Chain A
């Protein structure tokens, strides 16, 4: 109970600081460019902290450690991919995208290809990716609050949605920049401090409370454990025969009392309660290595696991550059050079962060084997401090971690809501500040609705799916649009439809399969290896076939994207559309001086 109070007060503190910073940031926000791109005046280091703060979502803060606990060394590809994505962004898009002067991703598509059609399609996919990314954030918020306080899961999601929507209503992008920059450092502290303390605790007494490791690498419960299966069907694999007490349903048949499990796979219905004795082997959720021997070794899952790893590398390396909430932050840089510096600084900040979840994941393998049975490994980071240090110190550490996790949901959700609302308000509505506010409320409602409706999966896996969607839609659009003169709007639309359509189909299939017993093969849950090359090919082939539709002024556009900043070719499209009379006059003045032409 004490722990609950500590954690709750830490969470309330994070929420309060979020509100305060949001209020400070939003006092001066009153125009549409303020709400969309914070007037494009964010310095590179603060922008990098804001980007990292927004990017380190529940998937990074909770999910990476959970996957390390479950899948071992192979899970390390997630942090690598999440970071490497920024390298691809820096190499291919950062500076040219900023110089395009666009204010949203669909706006860039229209500016580059000169067609309103491609803008509509891009809008659709921005909303898809944004919502697909928001849902796991809100669901993990529910999980966090449930783990800490026992409140029902919908409560956490609702709270996060409310805080985010209120903050964004106040000042849009301008309000959340400071919030997100602060939340990066908050999260870094919230994961680094517990990691150091727990690692020292582990070194001081490596054998207290850890699972006994037998010579053959079988994982065993350190003490007697009672585990209840949550709301979804769980499949567990047993390698070492064991006896346990079960109350509930196994493989669809009722069981009440002692049961013997031989080698094989067992399907546990929701609500089933299992009682394990101390020292009994731990059954592991299907699909993860069952012994420590396999867990410490990379690529033990055979050829399908190998392809999955490649697919993951592809999705994360190329997907980051297509995430609308990340890109919209790059529009807030003053110029192309600053955009590049921002991306580089993000690489540093993320590299710093991702060391810690790995260590926590390894530690939780030693202390929390029970999470392997019901598959709720996202809770590992939250439960580890109190399991390892069962006193006041552990409670305080637990509270710090909980606050960090909460900051993760808040910052990522704010960024997503701002980017989706920006697109909806400027593309579907007239783009006044009032429209932006309505779009914010609308986005929040849709996201929380879906979060309550859809089944909960591991945060990292769901997030990986939105990376796959981004990599198969906006990555080819941006890379080809920025570097290849031949792209036409017809080609772009076909590529978006093919790439995006396939990923969405795969997503639907895997949701259906998760309801009906997880039968979907690996390439369905991680389709990027197939869909990304196909999307690229479609765009190139169709563009070649429709060569006549290439915009006539493509050379001027590419000049604008690539000309160094001092030559003064940047023309901000948000000013042209939403700016005040004074700002427009200033731009027209620049133009008259012969330094460029506004489209």
Chain B
């Protein structure tokens, strides 16, 4: 309380010193008013989403479709990659004769390689999903 009181005259003096021109943009930058306005707008969009107006429904459908596309794309890539391995080993048994550092290739392909790959795919999905959500929030919050 005392801090603000003490600041006031000083600020008034400063404004007087800066003159009318400098004062104007200062006033525009009052943050509180802007934010309330934006929140009102976001709230309206949220209510729109809740009540499933045609706009709201379209927005949600698009979000779900985007997320589903990322998820299914990555899942199919991984599943197909995994399913190709056994049939390859079955049809081309000579692969086992190839060795890196004395370890047959199938042991490396199955024992080591999958784990970093799975983590990488998960990482990519998390980034995509969060980007979709951020875009959605920005759109609602605009």
Contact = CB atoms under 8 A, between A and B. Distances in A.
A90 B46 contact: no
Contacts of A347: 115, 118-119, 122
Interface string A530-560: 0000000000000000000000000110110
Interface residues of B, number: 51
Interface string A15-44: 000000000000000000000000000000
Contact of A483 (B57, B68, B104, B115): B68
A239 B41 CA distance: 78
B93 interface: yes
A340 B110 contact: no
Interface string B31-75: 000000000000100110110100011001001100110111011
B17 to A, nearest CB: 42
A86 B52 CA distance: 33
A88 B76 CA distance: 10
A562 B67 contact: yes
A318 to B, nearest CB: 9
Nearest to B44: A594
A87 interface: yes
B63 A562 contact: yes
Contacts of A597: 50
Contacts of A559: 49-50, 52, 56, 60
Determine the interface band of chain A, counting residues with CB < 8 A from chain B.
Answer: 35 or more
Contacts of A354: 115
A569 B133 CA distance: 13
A351 B86 contact: no
A298 B64 contact: no
Interface in B81-119: 82-83, 86-87, 89-90, 93, 96, 104, 106-107, 110-112, 114-116, 118-119
Contacts of B119: 344, 347-348, 351
A341 B123 CA distance: 9
A306 B86 contact: yes
Contacts of A594: 43, 46-47
The interface residues of chain A, by DSSP majority, are classed as helix
A313 B78 CA distance: 11
A317 interface: yes
B115 A343 contact: no
Contact of B133 (A84, A555, A558, A564): A564
A343 B93 CA distance: 35
B16 to A, nearest CB: 42
Contact of B71 (A92, A558, A564): A92
B75 A88 contact: yes
B118 to A, nearest CB: 5
B134 interface: yes
Interface of B: 43, 46-47, 49-50, 52, 56-57, 60, 63-64, 67-68, 70-72, 74-75, 78-79, 82-83, 86-87, 89-90, 93, 96, 104, 106-107, 110-112, 114-116, 118-119, 121-123, 125-126, 129-130, 133-134, 136-137, 140
22 contacts: A83-B118, A88-B75, A299-B86, A313-B82, A337-B130, A344-B123, A347-B115, A347-B118, A347-B119, A347-B122, A348-B119, A350-B115, A351-B115, A355-B115, A555-B57, A556-B50, A559-B60, A562-B60, A562-B64, A564-B136, A567-B140, A594-B47
- Nearest first, the 3 closest Cβ-Cβ pairs linking A and B are A351-B115, A564-B133, A298-B89
